[in-house]
């Protein structure tokens, strides 16, 4: 089979691939020099839409409406954009072998791709309950959500009149966003998760109490402290029951599982250094192989602000790391220098009519402020994290753009505080006056 050769190859066609392509264009990449190879059948899009607007009962988001870079207010890169720029968008193509020594990638169909510089942008894959040997987990109508084809399957099931009861396994991002999405589609929803409160990776018990109360008021049932131990199926092989470890049995005709993601690094095992489950990079996203960069979910990079090495599974970092890597590639080719990546962690979510943003680090003492009564129509609250006398992180539900901007400033500047009580009393006005 014919071999194709490119100066630059981006492996993966997700969020970071799209933002990298735009930066390649800004940097003056020449027609024919760049290829994006993706197993997905569509051009890079804003993945966050899949668990939100894509699932709306009315006016649902559909491609081409949410191709990158609309998520950050930029130009929408339609498939034509890539062809106009002479960028090869090689879709529906899964790479099954990567040999970094010979700079060769091989697809499932046996095609060979050569590169001079490679950007690994393979993102994450979902953790599957079959990985844990959960009994019955291969039944039909048990869904996971990572790519647009998963979302299409889920939409079909949501729209089917016979599906009226859903169990959501997992209390993280997918669990919270999907419970809301299914509920607004008028489906009975029960969430199940092992921890004492939802999203323990980020939420304090105080933050979680608001969301759990709000979801309960929307009719979402929440079962905490146990996991799905098995599933029963009907004669068509469709899921009919979820058996919990604590002995309870829940009826279900749809199950959505969100029990975490794993960075897709398997192709590169033993060929690049890894750390914290990801591919280790420097502040320019260069890996231990100088011709190979890694961006987005797969990269473990120096987080300068916190003086730590971290991996981040969020869209803002996917966008910015991609831009940084491409700038670094061009700088190194032109013997220029650029500043090291200096990232301020930024995460957000939206569900029902709720919306929050978080900046910085959720470490140290937490200080809850504002109206966090889930039944209050004026709910608006936040949390600061204070470590070694400094505010290092900030969270706000239902903020204005100005308040979110102030939150980011606080997390970046890390102002000192004397009293946690005073900080709680000042609430968002503290951030607005920094």
Q: Specify the residue, 74 or 196, whose C-beta has the smaller distance to ligand NAD.
A: 196
With tokens 């940084």, the residue in question is: 324
DSSP 147: S
User: Which region, judged by CB under 6 A, interacts with ligand NAD, from 107-115, 194-202, 215-223, 421-429?
Assistant: 194-202
CA distance 139 to 240: 9
Strands lying side by side in the sheet with 299-303? 274-275, 278-280, 299-303, 308-311
Judged by DSSP in three states, 230 sits in strand
Enumerate the β-bridge partners of residue 256.
Answer: 143, 168
Q: Specify the residue, 129 or 318, whose C-beta has the smaller distance to ligand FDA.
A: 318
State yes or no: residue 392 binds ligand NAD (CB under 6 A): no
Contact between residue 157 and residue 141 where contact means Cβ atoms under 8 Å apart: yes
Crossing angle for the helix pair 315-333 and 15-26, to the nearest 10 degrees: 30
State yes or no: residue 194 binds ligand NAD (CB under 6 A): yes
The option from ligand FDA, ligand NAD, none interacting with 263 (CB < 5 to 8 A, set by class) reads none
CA distance 296 to 280: 12
Judged by DSSP in three states, 370 sits in strand
Which residue among 349, 362, 383, 414 contacts ligand NAD (CB under 6 A)? 349
Q: How far is the CB of 348 from ligand NAD (least distance, A)?
A: 6
Residue 29 host element (H or E): none
Contact between residue 42 and residue 63 where contact means Cβ atoms under 8 Å apart: yes
Q: Specify the residue, 48 or 370, whose C-beta has the smaller distance to ligand FDA.
A: 48
User: Which region, judged by CB under 6 A, interacts with ligand NAD, from 35-43, 98-106, 169-177, 207-215?
Assistant: 169-177
State yes or no: residue 347 binds ligand NAD (CB under 6 A): yes
CA distance 183 to 70: 27
Q: Specify the residue, 43 or 423, whose C-beta has the smaller distance to ligand FDA.
A: 43
Judged by DSSP in three states, 106 sits in strand
Q: How far is the CB of 260 from ligand NAD (least distance, A)?
A: 4
Contact between residue 396 and residue 429 where contact means Cβ atoms under 8 Å apart: no
Q: Which residue is nearest to ligand NAD (CB)?
A: 172
CA distance 192 to 188: 13
Residues 102-141: x where in contact with ligand NAD by CB under 6 A, - otherwise, as a string: ----------------------x-----------------
Tell me the CA distances in angstroms from 150 to 131, 156, 421, one per residue in order.
18, 10, 46
Residues lying near ligand FDA in the complex (CB under 6 A):
12-17, 37-40, 47-48, 50-51, 94-95, 121-124, 145-147, 264, 267, 296-297, 313-316, 318, 347-349
Q: How far is the CB of 252 from ligand NAD (least distance, A)?
A: 14
State yes or no: residue 195 binds ligand NAD (CB under 6 A): yes
State yes or no: residue 259 binds ligand NAD (CB under 6 A): yes
State yes or no: residue 326 binds ligand NAD (CB under 6 A): no
Q: Count residues contacting ligand NAD (CB under 6 A)? A: 25
CA distance 7 to 75: 25
Q: How far is the CB of 395 from ligand NAD (least distance, A)?
A: 13
Give the footprint of ligand NAD on this chain (CB under 6 A): 51, 124, 169-175, 177, 192-195, 201, 227-228, 258-261, 313-314, 347, 349
């Amino acid at each position: 089979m014919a071999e194709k050769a490119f100066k630059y190859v981006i492996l993966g066609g997700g969020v970071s691939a799209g933002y990298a392509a735009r930066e390649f264009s800004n940097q003056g990449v020449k027609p024919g020099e760049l290829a994006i190879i993706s197993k997905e059948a569509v051009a890079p899009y804003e993945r966050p839409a899949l668990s939100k607007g894509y699932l709306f009962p009315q006016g649902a988001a559909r491609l081409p409406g949410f191709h990158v870079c609309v998520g950050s207010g930029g130009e929408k890169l339609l498939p034509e954009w890539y062809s106009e720029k002479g960028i090869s968008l090689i879709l529906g193509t899964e790479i099954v072998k990567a040999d970094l020594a010979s700079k060769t990638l091989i697809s499932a169909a046996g095609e060979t791709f050569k590169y001079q510089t490679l950007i690994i942008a393979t993102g994450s894959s979902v953790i599957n309950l079959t990985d844990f040997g959960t009994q019955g987990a291969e039944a039909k109508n048990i869904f996971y959500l990572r790519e647009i084809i998963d979302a299409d399957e889920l939409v079909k099931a949501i729209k089917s009149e016979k599906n009226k009861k859903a169990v959501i396994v997992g209390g993280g991002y997918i669990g919270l966003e999907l419970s809301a999405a299914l509920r607004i589609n008028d489906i009975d929803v029960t969430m199940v998760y092992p921890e004492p409160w939802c999203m323990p990776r980020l939420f304090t018990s105080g933050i979680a109490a608001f969301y759990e109360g709000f979801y309960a008021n929307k009719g979402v049932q929440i079962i905490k402290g146990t996991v799905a131990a098995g599933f029963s199926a009907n004669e068509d092989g469709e899921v009919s029951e979820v058996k919990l470890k604590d002995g309870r049995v829940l009826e279900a005709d749809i199950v959505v599982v969100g029990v975490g993601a794993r960075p897709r690094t398997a192709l590169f095992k033993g060929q690049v250094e890894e750390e914290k489950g990801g591919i280790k990079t420097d502040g320019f996203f260069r890996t231990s192989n100088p011709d190979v960069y890694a961006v987005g979910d797969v990269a473990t990079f120096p987080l300068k602000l916190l003086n730590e090495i971290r991996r981040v599974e969020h869209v803002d970092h996917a966008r910015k790391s991609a831009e940084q890597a491409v700038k670094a590639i061009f700088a190194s080719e032109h013997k220029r220098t650029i500043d090291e990546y200096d990232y301020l962690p930024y995460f957000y979510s939206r569900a029902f009519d709720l919306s929050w943003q978080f900046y910085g680090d959720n470490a140290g003492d937490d200080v809850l402020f504002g109206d966090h009564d889930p039944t209050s129509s004026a709910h608006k609250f936040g949390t600061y994290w204070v470590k070694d006398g400094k505010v290092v992180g900030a969270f706000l539900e239902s903020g204005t753009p100005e308040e979110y901007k102030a939150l980011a400033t606080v997390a970046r500047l890390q102002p000192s505080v004397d009293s946690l009580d005073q900080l709680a009393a000042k609430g968002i006005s503290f951030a607005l006056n920094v």
